[in-house]
Amino acid sequence: MALLRKNMRASILCLVGGASMVLAGVQNYNPTGQGCLDPDGFLSCYAKQVDLVTSCATGCTASNVAGSQALKTCLTGCNGAQLAGNLGCWVQSCWNQLYSCENQLATISYFDGNDLIQNPNIFPWFPPPSDAVDGACSCNLGYVEGNKTIFLATPNFNQPCENVASRGNPAATAECACCEFSFPVSNILNICPTSDLSVLGMSAYIEHTQGLISASGDACAILNDGNQDSCLNTYGYRFRGDKVFNPLSLPSGIPGSDPLTNNPGNAFTDFGASAYTLNLFPGFSSTITPVPFNAKAGAATGTVSAAAVATGTESATQIATGTVARGSSAAGTATSSATGTAAATTSKSAAGGRNGVNEGLALAAVMLLASYNMFSNL
User: Would you say residue 311 has pLDDT above 60?
Assistant: no
Q: Are strands 284-288 and 19-24 parallel, antiparallel or unpaired?
A: unpaired
Task: Give the Cα separation of 377 and 290 in Å (integer).
Answer: 12
Answer with the one of 235, 260, 284 that is the final residue of a domain. 235
Of the candidates 252, 271, 293, which has an alpha carbon nearest to the alpha carbon of residue 352? 271
Same domain for 114 and 43: yes
* Maximal C-alpha separation, the chain: 65
Taking residues 41-49, what's their average pLDDT?
Answer: 97
Same domain for 113 and 157: no
Taking residues 295-315, what's their average pLDDT?
Answer: 52
Task: Give the Cα separation of 274 and 282 in Å (integer).
Answer: 25
Taking residues 116-138, what's their average pLDDT?
Answer: 92
Tens of pLDDT along 338-367?
222 222 223 566 764 433 332 222 232 233
User: Would you say residue 72 has pLDDT above 70?
Assistant: yes
Residue with the bigger pLDDT between 239 and 88: it is: 88
Same domain for 110 and 16: yes
Q: What is the DSSP letter of 213?
A: T
Taking residues 105-124, what's their average pLDDT?
Answer: 91
User: Would you say residue 57 has pLDDT above 70?
Assistant: yes
- pLDDT for 172 equals 95
Confidence of residue 120 (pLDDT cuts 50, 70, 90): confident
Torsion of CA 350, 354, 355, 359, to 10 degrees: -160
Domain assignment present for 324: no
H or E element, residue 14 = strand 11-16
Task: Give the Cα separation of 123 and 342 in Å (integer).
Answer: 16
Domain count, the chain: 2
Tens of pLDDT along 153-198?
777 888 899 999 999 999 999 999 999 999 899 999 999 999 999 9
Same domain for 17 and 86: yes
Domain assignment present for 297: yes
Answer with the one of 212, 235, 258 that is the final residue of a domain. 235
Confidence of residue 130 (pLDDT cuts 50, 70, 90): very high
User: 272 φ, ψ to 5°?
Assistant: 95, 0
Taking residues 291-315, what's their average pLDDT?
Answer: 59
User: Would you say residue 322 has pLDDT above 60?
Assistant: no
Same domain for 275 and 226: no
Residue with the bigger pLDDT between 156 and 102: it is: 102
Q: What is the DSSP letter of 20?
A: E
Tens of pLDDT along 236-292?
888 877 889 999 999 999 999 999 999 999 999 999 999 999 999 988 999 999 999
Same domain for 109 and 178: no
Mean pLDDT: which of 220-224, 355-359, 372-376 is highest? 220-224
User: Would you say residue 299 has pLDDT above 50?
Assistant: yes
Same domain for 115 and 16: yes
The whole-model pTM stands at: 0.77
Domain assignment present for 129: no
User: Would you say residue 55 has pLDDT above 80?
Assistant: yes
Task: Give the Cα separation of 113 and 76 in Å (integer).
Answer: 8
Answer with the one of 235, 263, 282 that is the final residue of a domain. 235
Taking residues 108-130, what's their average pLDDT?
Answer: 91
* Average pLDDT of the chain to the nearest whole number: 77
User: Would you say residue 4 has pLDDT above 70?
Assistant: no
H or E element, residue 372 = helix 365-372
Would you say 135 and 299 are in contact if contact means Cβ atoms under 8 Å apart?
yes
Rg (CA), the chain: 21
Domain assignment present for 253: no
- pLDDT for 363 equals 30
Of the candidates 139, 92, 91, 146, which has an alpha carbon nearest to the alpha carbon of residue 117? 146
> Which residue range is the domain that position 229 belongs to?
150-235
User: Would you say residue 314 has pLDDT above 80?
Assistant: no
Domain assignment present for 110: yes
Task: Give the Cα separation of 330 and 47 in Å (integer).
Answer: 33
Same domain for 102 and 39: yes
Domain assignment present for 366: yes
Domain assignment present for 243: no
User: Would you say residue 119 has pLDDT above 60?
Assistant: yes
Angle between helices 69-93 and 39-63 (to 10 degrees): 170
Tens of pLDDT along 19-39?
334 345 688 999 999 999 999
Same domain for 106 and 15: yes
Taking residues 143-155, what's their average pLDDT?
Answer: 81
Domain assignment present for 138: no
- pLDDT for 168 equals 92
